[in-house]
Structure formats: structure tokens, C-alpha cells
Amino acid sequence: MAIDDEALETQTQVLPWALFLIALVLVAALIVLAYGGAGESPLVTEDQQQGAPLNTTPTTNTFGGVGGAAATTTIEDMLDNPVATVGNAVTVRGEVERPIGPRAFILDEPGIRADQILVLTSNVVVLEEGDAVVVKGTVRSMTVAGVEQRYGVDLTSALATMVLEHPVIVASSITVESP
């Protein structure tokens, strides 16, 4: 069986593109594996899985050290050493810098540095800019696509950069502190 020159030329033109596409898919898969994806499993209680809302009742509860509760972590610690905090349960105090939607907000830690972290939740929460909150959750590395798909958040380029460069907190509990 003879292969004509035209068919051979077409095959040699297609082969590099096919290899390029395969390499591109492999690189994308490696990035998803390295940074997590839509399949991240947030720490959610059984009640929350059944649709119960997160605790957003105003209170002055203090976390840390009592009854085995985790000590309060700072946003600065999470941003300065993300490798040590990713995957860990944390309790963080801060102020709502900006609500991003019904399932996300930027948490700010008052101080000299402008330490901010994105907080995500599976449940709808109603928070206002300036609310003092205590967030309990798990520190995660996620992809932009994972955040947008799982939490329904449309990220701006600045927020997308934040997700790519820093961990996020997947909240299991958000408590608004009384003023």
C-alpha cells in the first residue's frame, strides 16, 4: 500500500499540533493537582450538609484554649507561611473588608500590614463591610476555576491573583461579634 506525498505531508503537519495539545493538557492537569480544584472538600458539619445556615448570630464568644478549641490564628501567619497552614483547621478574628457575594468575602486583619484573605462558605451568609467576625474553617489552596464553580463567585482579576498567590479559608462557622 502506497502513501501519497500529500497524505504524508498532512500527517507531518498534524503531528506537532497533536503533541502540543497533549502537552498542554498534561500541564493543566499538573496545575490542578498542585493547586487543588473544584473538588476541594471544605469542613462542613452534618447540619450544614442538610441546608442549615452557618452561625451568624451576634455574640461575644471567645475561642482559643477553652474546651479544646483551636487557638486563634492570624492572617499574617497564614500568608507568611502558607505551606505550614494549608490543610489545617483555624480560627481567625478579623473585619469584613468587602463582601464578594453570598458565599465569599475578604477578611481583613487590622494592623500596620494590610493582611487580607478570601473566605469561602458553602452556605449563604449576610455580612456587611466592617462587621467584626470570628471565622472557623480550613485553610486551602484552590484554583480560580474551583472557587468560581464551587462557590459561584465571579472573581475579578485582582481576586483571581489573590486566589493563585495565597491560600483561602473554607469556613465551617462564621460568628458576627457584637459591637
CATH topology of domain 46-176: OB fold (Dihydrolipoamide Acetyltransferase, E2P) (2.40.50)
Answer yes or no: is pLDDT of 25 > 80. no
Q: Nearest Cα to 139, choosing from 77, 97, 62?
A: 77
* Tens digit of each residue's pLDDT (9 = 90 or more) over 36-91: 444 443 333 333 333 444 444 333 333 333 333 456 788 888 888 888 889 999 99
Question: Helix or strand or coil: residue 131?
Answer: coil
* Tens digit of each residue's pLDDT (9 = 90 or more) over 114-144: 789 999 998 888 999 999 999 999 999 989 9
User: Mean pLDDT of all residues in the chain?
Assistant: 74
Domain spans, the chain: 1-35, 46-176
Q: Assign 3-class secondary structure to 16-69.
A: HHHHHHHHHHHHHHHHHHHHCCCCCCCCCCHHHHCCCCCCCCCECCCCCCCCCC
Contacts of 149-152 with C-beta under 8 Å, sequence gap 24+, read 149/38, 150/38, 150/40, 150/120, 151/101, 151/103, 151/104, 151/120, 151/121, 151/122, 152/101, 152/102, 152/103
The fraction of the chain above a pLDDT of 70, given in percent, is: 65
